[in-house]
Amino acid sequence: MKRLYIVVSLVMVLGLVLAACQTATPETIIETVEVPVVQTQVVEKEKVVVQTQVVAPTEAPVAAGESLPRNETLYFNGQQWGPVKCWNPYSSNCNNALGLAAQDNSRVPMFETPYLYNMMDGKQYPLLADGDFTWNDAHTEITFKIKPAAHWSDGTPVTADDFAYTWASYIKYNTNAGNNYKDYIETVEAVDPQTVVIKAKLNEEGKAVNPLQVGHYLSGAYVIQKAWTETLEARTGGDATAFLTDVAEDVVYSGPYHKFFADETKVIFVRDDNYWGQDASMWGKLPVPKYLAHQIFKDNAAGSVALAQGEVDVSQQFNSNVQVLWENYNLPVSTYLPEPPYGIGASLPTAYYNLTSNGLDQVAIRKAIALAVDYDTIIANAMTNQSATFDQVPRSLMNPTPGEQAMYDHDAVADLQWAGNDIEGANKMLDDAGVLDTNGDGNREWNGQELHYVATCPNGWSDWQAAIEVVAAAGEKIGIDIVTNFPEWAVYQTVVTKSDAPLPEGYDIFMMWTDGAGPTQPWGRIRHLLSSEFVGQEINWNGNWGQYSNPDVDALIQAIPGETDEAKLKEMYTELVRIYLTEVPSFTLMYRPQSFHTVNESVWTGFPHQDDGTEPPVPPLDLTDGWSIAGLYNLQLVNP
């Protein structure tokens, strides 16, 4: 009996030790359970993506105490982290992800922009605007018309006065949008009730300071009703802080959805069945789901479980090893592309060099480290293959979208592009540059000092940490000591964004993001990666955190926005790529999608997928951002 007791105890202690060694998370459990593999990709099923079913307005929304009908509700995850604080489109603090996100691909279920950006073809499509916008001959003014059908949720028409007053309020109250565009836009004026003119700020030569940024305003800033803004002003008595912090539960909007319910656990939007966009001049029908609901998950693992369970239809979070859900579990889950990289890369998470660290002022050392890094491992581990490799999309300054890839001459820089893990090439480069291990300790020296660097990124950003570890491992192979350090984000960001002094010790190689896809790209991304205008800023949230400075690059960045000749533009972009790949002030570690986009087709189908037949193609941006909202009109029930 005593022996049996010992055996039982031992088994339990062993279990204990194992449990302590590796804490199982839903992610690891999903990853490690091996189920007989059934190679099914749901996307490959033949289905009609564009359908013409017109949604009839339905009865009144559900009452308190009742449940939303599943077949009228589209569930999201990954956008809303934490409770919604307000509904004020002038505020930047509402934490209202589904409702308020004016950006490159503005989120438009509730508030609308005159145009919708489509990252798939780089074009802006009219929403509130009627037809294309036009530049005047001097390229200093944009004019567009407003659709006669466009009206606010209170039934009043959207007029040019609304646009003018919105701009004036952005400036008057120092809003994010105002700050963002005030250096580029002089005024927004109403020519007549249906016609809006945006006048660019002019430089000394009488040219627009930056036509790209003026164009960006068309799809990057919401229009807000003048009458409601005046109500808000009256309520807050002209106090800017009160104006920007007003909860705005009474806000008037022009989009197809508005607030239905929000608390600590979720936010629900309900369709406005009087939405103007059902007019033939826009969508010709209402969006299909009556409700958009977003449960507030506390981390990615919880969101992934809900996606797998079919409780989430559209997932905008990073789901580690997402392919396991259909390959191993045969779930009706899919991504935009059926195979790796599963989505369309848009931004370029980047390792920056502190150019004042010993040796990192030398191109050979910078490039050697970048050559030696094993990017395939980063992509496989950190991104679980949800990034294109550098063999598939050779490195440049462009993201993998076809539009951006066409903007530089690939052949002209082919000999400068590297795919990584080139230890031999890196060692040779260092040897040729005289960066040698003279004292025989296995580590190279420069300026009489051992080459020793700290590679860093914020703690808890697991994909970035995995990438930084691979960078450090590359150093060992080429005789450069690279150790990692992961400070808390609160500390990290304060250090990295202080560009008025050299970066401190411990920040030799560090990771930050780049711009994604948008109407000013790739120019905006290149500016943020390389422009010296940010060096010297006390608080620099723009970019070039390694404080690189090159007058030739600055001149090109300055010239591109005013250039309209496409051949010339291509030449300029190619030159920028050439300089970037030659000087290596920073280097791309992986490609990352604008938004992760995974769908579960248990209830809804007709989501955007590659070659789904939509024209223009609906981008994989969760049916909320920019042109991707077109996807809401294409959904169908799996079991009608």
Partner 1 sequence: MKGYMRYFGKKLIWFIITFIAAFLLNFILPRLMPGDPVAAIVARLAQGQSNASGVQAIYEQYTELFGTNEPMYTQFLLYVKNVFQGDFGFSFSQYPRSVADVLRSSIWWTVILQFPAIIIGWILGNSLGALAAYRKGWYDRLILPVSIFASALPAFGMATILLVIFGVTLKWLPTSGGYDVSMIPKLNWAYIWSVVVHYQLPFWSIVLIAIGGQAIGMRSMSIYELHADYVKYSRFLGVKDNKIVRYVFRNAMLPQITGLALALGTMVGGALIAEIVFSYPGLGTILYNGIMGQDYPLISATTLIITIMVLIATFAIEILYGFIDPRIKAAQSD
Per-residue contact flags (x/-) with partner 1 for residues 417 to 456, judged by CB under 8 A:
----------------------------------------
Least distance (Å) from partner 1 to the CB of residue 538?
Answer: 7
The CA distances from residue 300 to 187, 379, 437, in Å, are 43, 19, 45
Query: Pseudo-torsion of CA 484, 489, 490, 495, nearest 10°?
Result: 50
Least distance (Å) from partner 1 to the CB of residue 595?
Answer: 13
Structure tokens at 245: 């912090």
Say how many residues touch partner 1, by CB under 8 A. Answer: 86
Q: Are strands 123-126 and 333-335 parallel, antiparallel or unpaired?
A: unpaired
Per-residue contact flags (x/-) with partner 1 for residues 5 to 24, judged by CB under 8 A:
x--xx--xx-xx--xx--xx
In 392-545, at which residue ranges do the beta strands (DSSP E only) sit? 445-446, 449-450, 452-456, 481-485, 509-512
Least distance (Å) from partner 1 to the CB of residue 116?
Answer: 16
Residue 37 and residue 255 in contact, taking contact as beta carbons nearer than 8 Å: no
Structure tokens at 170: 């952005």
Rounded CA separation 235/229 (Å): 10
Helix (H/G/I), strand (E/B), else coil: 421: coil
315 dihedral zone (left: phi>0; alpha: psi -120 to 50; beta): beta
Least distance (Å) from partner 1 to the CB of residue 438?
Answer: 38
Q: Does 91 bind partner 1 (CB under 8 A)?
A: yes
Per-residue contact flags (x/-) with partner 1 for residues 257 to 286, judged by CB under 8 A:
---xx-xxxx-x------------------
Least distance (Å) from partner 1 to the CB of residue 309?
Answer: 6
**135 - beta bridge partners?**
142
Applying CB under 8 A, which of residues 241, 414, 442, 448 lies at the interface with partner 1?
Answer: 241
Q: Which of residues 47-76 bind partner 1 (CB under 8 A)?
A: 62-68, 70, 73, 75
326 dihedral zone (left: phi>0; alpha: psi -120 to 50; beta): alpha
Nearer to partner 1, 23 or 449 (CB): 23
Nearer to partner 1, 91 or 278 (CB): 91
Please identify, among the stretches 48-56, 241-249, 579-587, 615-623, the one whose residues bind partner 1 according to the rule CB under 8 A: 241-249
Least distance (Å) from partner 1 to the CB of residue 451?
Answer: 28
Applying CB under 8 A, which of residues 40, 53, 92, 187 lies at the interface with partner 1?
Answer: 92
Please identify, among the stretches 81-89, 418-426, 476-484, 606-614, the one whose residues bind partner 1 according to the rule CB under 8 A: 81-89
Applying CB under 8 A, which of residues 99, 215, 524, 608 lies at the interface with partner 1?
Answer: 524
Q: Which of residues 479-508 bind partner 1 (CB under 8 A)?
A: 488-491, 493-494, 497
Nearer to partner 1, 422 or 515 (CB): 515
Least distance (Å) from partner 1 to the CB of residue 112?
Answer: 18
Structure tokens at 353: 């060099």
Rounded CA separation 85/341 (Å): 35
Helix (H/G/I), strand (E/B), else coil: 237: coil
Least distance (Å) from partner 1 to the CB of residue 541?
Answer: 4
Helix (H/G/I), strand (E/B), else coil: 223: strand
Applying CB under 8 A, which of residues 42, 100, 104, 189 lies at the interface with partner 1?
Answer: 104
Rounded CA separation 478/421 (Å): 11
Kindly report whether the peptide bond that precedes residue 394 is cis, defined as omega within 30 degrees of 0: no
Least distance (Å) from partner 1 to the CB of residue 102?
Answer: 8
Least distance (Å) from partner 1 to the CB of residue 248?
Answer: 11
Q: Does 121 bind partner 1 (CB under 8 A)?
A: no
Please identify, among the stretches 89-97, 231-239, 356-364, 378-386, the one whose residues bind partner 1 according to the rule CB under 8 A: 89-97
DSSP letter for each residue of 301-361? HHHHHHHHTTS-SEE-S--TTTTHHHHTS--SEEESSSSTT-S-EEE--EEEE-TTSTTTT
Least distance (Å) from partner 1 to the CB of residue 205?
Answer: 21
Nearer to partner 1, 7 or 50 (CB): 7
Residue 150 and residue 254 in contact, taking contact as beta carbons nearer than 8 Å: yes
Q: Does 305 bind partner 1 (CB under 8 A)?
A: yes
Query: Pseudo-torsion of CA 410, 411, 417, 423, nearest 10°?
Result: 150
Per-residue contact flags (x/-) with partner 1 for residues 158 to 197, judged by CB under 8 A:
----------------x-x-xxxxxx--------------
Q: Does 602 bind partner 1 (CB under 8 A)?
A: no
Give the CA angle between residues 481, 486, 492 to the nearest 5°. Answer: 115
Q: Does 540 bind partner 1 (CB under 8 A)?
A: yes
Give the CA angle between residues 58, 113, 87 to the nearest 5°. Answer: 65
